[in-house]
Chain A
Amino acid sequence: MAEASQEAKDRSREEDVEMLTAVRNGDATAYRGLVEKYQQRVYSMVYGVLRNREDARDVTQDAFVKAYNHLDSFRLESSFYTWLYRIAMNLAIDVTRKRKRRKTTEFDETIANRDETGDISDMHRADSPSKELERKRLYAAIMDAISKLPEDQQQVILLRELEGLSYREISEIMEIPEGTVMSRLFYARKKLQKLLAHTR
């Protein structure tokens, strides 16, 4: 099973190389394949950081554009998606830092969430104790707790839990040793466990 997974990864990487080679040879439309292949995954990860669909969409677009504009500096023997993730993660972190500087109140520290249009709505309704509401409550509590983590711990927890990336892949994205990935993940989870103890 591990071998099959590795084979799939190898094939995926070969596909990326083909598309990237075509782009470098002048066929810009070949980049579309890469966009469509990774857009959902990048978006989900960025959403985990920003928790706003519009912002996540914008950052996702910006990440792909930036990657395209810097393709000359990308080595084909490297992994495109880890490189792309690094770009996207850094852009998302930039947005969160700007938000903090603006001291925006978009993300209420209390139990709040955004609805489908991206607007904040108070979903803490005592008169609707459905399972869906409970799930949303827990999710909001988790995201609130994650926001309290240091940036480096936020990154590793999102890359691991949302994308299922290995320690090696996370270490490549964040440019830190694998052992540091392991320790940061542990301390991030431990802190989340502590912060969420009262919600369970």
Chain B
Amino acid sequence: MPGQQLEQLLIRIRDGEAHDGALEQARTLLRADARFPEELRRALDDDDEHEVADSAAALLAVLGADEGFGASLADAIFDEAGLFTGSPGAHADDVANDVIAATHPNERATSVAHAVHAMAGDIDVTHEVLAELEQHMATFPIDAAVRWHAGSVEVATDVLARLGLADELAPVAAAVTQQSGPVDIVTSVLSTLALEDVQIPLAAAIAAEAGEVDLVSAVMRATDASWVSAMLDNELDAQARRLATQQLRGNREALAQMTAFADIGRQLRSGVESEAGDVAYIWPAIAEQIGIANPESVPGWDGEQVAAAVRSQAGSVDVTTAVMGRVLSAQITTSDDVEAIPVPANNPWAPALALAAAAMFAVFVGAPAIFGGGASVPTIGDTPELAFAQSDEIIINDLSYAENASVQVIQAQGENGALIIWVDEETTL
């Protein structure tokens, strides 16, 4: 059959094994073969045997019959187009293989191969390849993807939202729009197209078109340096903090501003701390308002029970009568070894007598009654002997446990110190 015969001849021509008549025969069959577009039917008309071999490979590729299509096509493209010459690290082989792999590797890449071969020798191959890829990727054309990511308001909105500046859209949006086209956008585009692992210089081509921009820095410069405040408060994430630090190194104005912010905060804190002082004890007032009757109550501790216990032990005493009785009827004996009780110069004699009487009362009555002991309560008319202990310095503690009572505990220092309890006359025990 003519088709199979042509294929056989093309294979021999490709491999350099064709006899003289094979090339002419192939030319004849090719011109009549409807499987090829018109412009390809004279592809074998070249006299150069290398060119002819390459053309044969390409024709076989069109037919899907060339297993080594990739390398052959790459050679053809490279020879014809000089494609991506100068691109760092670009190789025509990679381009050809990757372009094919990016499209439909399991199908006959008829149209792509046709397009690439047809446009060989022109930098527009890039454009044509993209155009062809767009046809096979109808859901997300590359140009639309780039247009969507680069220079659009969405980028501005995303950045503004990330920096929390959504309320200040107008000038920042304009700044970001002007700065559109960073490399990150290219990565995003390729990722969207699932081409991030494909080693094709599309990224380089797009980056060459869009340029590289440090978008974050650009936005920072356009947004009144509000990051200065966040930097002071240690509220920037690691990446933003690095960028902010770089900005500060070369920006004296920002550094001065941050210093001024810190000074204001420090003076404010110092001033309020000094002026406000400590808050008063507010719990009782709060407790009253929320319905707690006794804010000082301690669960399990009932002061009334203690008072009742003391009363039951001490009984009732007419303090005044008892004191006066002792003062008027007692025979006071003194010991030569005992120093006279010092009387404060500014106090009259009567309080001192009363104090002494109370001391006697406490020692003989009150102390045993409260702290235990077997002393009986003396009555008026008894004439006990009073022996005053030596005293020099005294320590007075004032205890108030009820509204109408005042209890003073007076204790003399020294080994012979006596415990004296001074009880106010309004108190009942």
Contact = CB atoms under 8 A, between A and B. Distances in A.
A181 B283 CA distance: 33
A192 interface: yes
B305 to A, nearest CB: 19
B278 interface: yes
A40 B165 contact: no
A189 B295 CA distance: 43
B286 A193 contact: no
Interface size class of A (residues with CB under 8 A): 35 or more
B399 interface: no
B260 to A, nearest CB: 5
Contacts of B260: 189, 193
A95 B285 CA distance: 20
Listed residue (A53, A139, A180) with the most chain B CB atoms within 10 angstroms of its CB: A139
A91 B396 CA distance: 47
A39 B192 CA distance: 55
B264 A32 contact: no
Interface string B246-281: 000000000001001100110111111111111110
Contact of A183 (B164, B277, B278, B292): B164
Contacts of A192: 264
Nearest to B282: A61
A182 interface: yes
B119 interface: no
B226 interface: yes
Interface string B146-173: 0000000000000001011111100000
Interface in B116-149: none
A31 interface: yes
Interface in A121-157: 135-136, 138-140, 142-143, 146, 157
B286 A65 contact: yes
Nearest to B160: A179
A192 to B, nearest CB: 5
A167 interface: yes
Interface in A158-200: 160-162, 166-167, 177-183, 185-187, 189-190, 192-193, 196
B287 A183 contact: no
B291 interface: yes
Contacts, number: 138
Chain A residues touching B, majority SS: helix
B235 A186 contact: no
A57 interface: yes
Contacts of A48: 268, 272, 276
Contact of A135 (B225, B271, B299): B271
A179 B277 contact: no
B224 interface: yes
A115 to B, nearest CB: 10
A69 B290 contact: yes
A143 B226 contact: no
Interface in A107-128: 113-114, 116
A35 B108 CA distance: 79
A196 B230 CA distance: 21
B229 interface: yes
Contacts of B285: 61
Interface residues of B, number: 46
B345 to A, nearest CB: 38
Contact of A182 (B229, B261, B273): B229
A28 interface: yes
Given A44-B273, A179-B164, A167 B233 contact: yes
Interface in B212-226: 224-226
B229 A39 contact: no
Nearest to B278: A40
Contacts of B273: 44
A153 B53 CA distance: 79
B264 A143 contact: no
A160 B271 contact: no
B312 interface: no
Contact of B290 (A31, A43, A177, A196): A31
Contacts of B274: 135, 139
Given A139-B267, A142-B271, A166-B235, A53 B290 contact: no
A138 B271 contact: yes
A156 to B, nearest CB: 10
Given A47-B276, A160-B233, A177 B268 contact: no
A92 interface: no
A68 B271 contact: no
B282 A68 contact: no
Contacts of B277: 53, 116
A60 B270 contact: no
Contacts of A56: 276, 279
Contacts of A65: 286, 289-290
A25 interface: no
7 contacts: A32-B295, A39-B283, A40-B279, A56-B276, A65-B290, A146-B268, A182-B226
Given A138-B267, A140-B271, 7 more contacts: A31-B286, A36-B283, A162-B272, A167-B230, A179-B163, A183-B226, A193-B264
